[in-house]
Amino acid sequence: MTETQDGAELCFPQLFNTSCRKLTPPRFEVMLIHTLLYSISLLTVALNLLVIISVSHFRQLHTPTNILLLSLAVSDFLVGLVLMPGEIFRNTSCWFLGDLVCTMFNYISGIISVSSVGDMVLISVDRYVAICDPLHYTTRITVNRVKLCVCLCWLYSVSYNFLYLKDNLTQPGRYNSCYGECVIVIDNISVTIDLVLTFIVPVILIIALYLRVFAVAVSQARAMRSHITAVTLQLSVTPKTKKSELKAARNLGVLVVVFLMCFCPYYSVSLAGDSLVSASSVSYGLFVFYCNSCLNPVIYALFYPWFRKAVKLIITLQILQPGSCETNML
């Protein structure tokens, strides 16, 4: 790179008048940051790959709830494989990959983010039906219906982001102020609509569903302790079944709460407005959101014995044995 008079370096020295300038921090600091961030990215890929293999391989894990967790794991896997490295590269060096790759990166980023939000909404709906209407859960929430909902969620995400980024997709790089930059610009109306559709509405829906789940779960727990569950709730399911559903609701509730804690900071920046936040705040909020993809498998490991058992079988390569897909995991 070629240095300018103010101490900055040019991304493209041959384009002196139109090249972006990039201030370079100390080399040790860059190496430390890169090592930390890429380690988190690699860990995210590895952990979510274990989830994907576990749910895909073991037939006993092909339940509606686990299909939703599988879809979420795919999103999280792509976050670690594509989005984290891309954001690290974009924020710590010049963008040398061209305008088309920049636009596609932002498009894929939007697809993965929206699909993750959709998966969380579907998980909340799944627990709502399981706890609030357990008699009809097995007939209403089937594996095939959940697979269809997951496919529709991803299709919606692809279509929505195409419309949201239409101008940027048709004319890549149109908003770049210089060579070596990767930015997208969205008009205020579209930003407001996006904020409502991908943040406010989903968060309100998730919180509302889980508040109802929590209220019913407390009611059922009290009923089970007093041994009059069948009379109080007029249900014919066994206390053991209810206890299992309540435990699943608690575990998935932790997943949802952690997701909201990581999800809200980034969109809170958008709510605050451009005049009140800095680029570093936006980057911090986005990275916290991405870190949720690394935390989800950790939550599975803490609360799901089947995942710990599956990881052990995968690491020891026992899944390569004939008939391993029929292993009892529950």
- Give pLDDT tens digits along the chain (330 positions): 444 444 457 777 776 677 777 766 667 777 887 888 899 999 999 999 999 999 999 999 999 999 999 999 999 999 999 999 998 888 777 888 888 999 999 999 999 999 999 999 999 999 899 888 888 899 999 999 999 999 999 999 999 999 999 888 888 877 777 887 888 888 888 888 988 999 899 999 999 998 888 888 777 667 666 655 455 445 444 455 556 666 767 777 888 889 888 888 877 766 665 544 455 666 777 888 888 999 999 999 888 899 999 999 999 999 999 989 999 887
33 SS3 class: helix
Nearest to 245 by CA among 198, 213, 274, 283: 213
Please say whether the beta carbons of 183 and 91 come within 8 A.
Answer: no
DSSP states along 239-302: HHHHHHHHHHHHHHHHHHHHHHHHHHHHHHHHHH-TTT--HHHHHHHHHHHHHHHHHHHHHHHH
Q: Are 1 and 96 in contact (CB under 8 A)?
A: no
The residue count for the chain: 330
Backbone angles phi, psi at 109, to 5 degrees: -60, -45
pLDDT at 326: 92
Alpha-carbon gap, residue 45 to 28, rounded angstroms: 26
Residue 261, Cβ neighbours under 10 Å: how many? 12
Alpha-carbon radius of gyration of the chain: 23
Contact 87, 113 (CB under 8 A): no
Distance CA 314, CA 309 (A): 9
Q: What does the pLDDT read at residue 244?
A: 64
Amino acid at 163: L
Nearest to 180 by CA among 56, 320, 19, 312: 19
Distance CA 32, CA 124 (A): 39
Q: How far apart are CA 305 and CA 324, in angstroms?
A: 17
At what angle are helices 99-132 and 239-272 packed, to 10 degrees? 140
Cα 185 to the center of its chain, rounded Å: 23
User: Following DSSP, what letter does each residue of 80-146 receive, concatenated?
Assistant: IIIIHHHHHHHHHS---S-HHHHHHHHHHHHHHHHHHHHHHHHHHHHHHHHHHSGGGHHHHS-HHHH
Q: Compute φ and ψ for 90, nearest 5 degrees.
A: -65, -35
How far apart CA 202 and CA 54 sit, in angstroms, is 28
Question: Phi and psi dihedrals of 235, rounded to 5?
Answer: -120, 155
Domains of the chain plus CATH, in order, are 9-326 (1.20.1070.10)
What b/e string do you get for 8-19 counting C-beta neighbours within 10 Å, with b at 16 or more? ebbbbeeeeeeb
H/E stretch holding 10: strand 9-10
- pLDDT of 281 reads 64
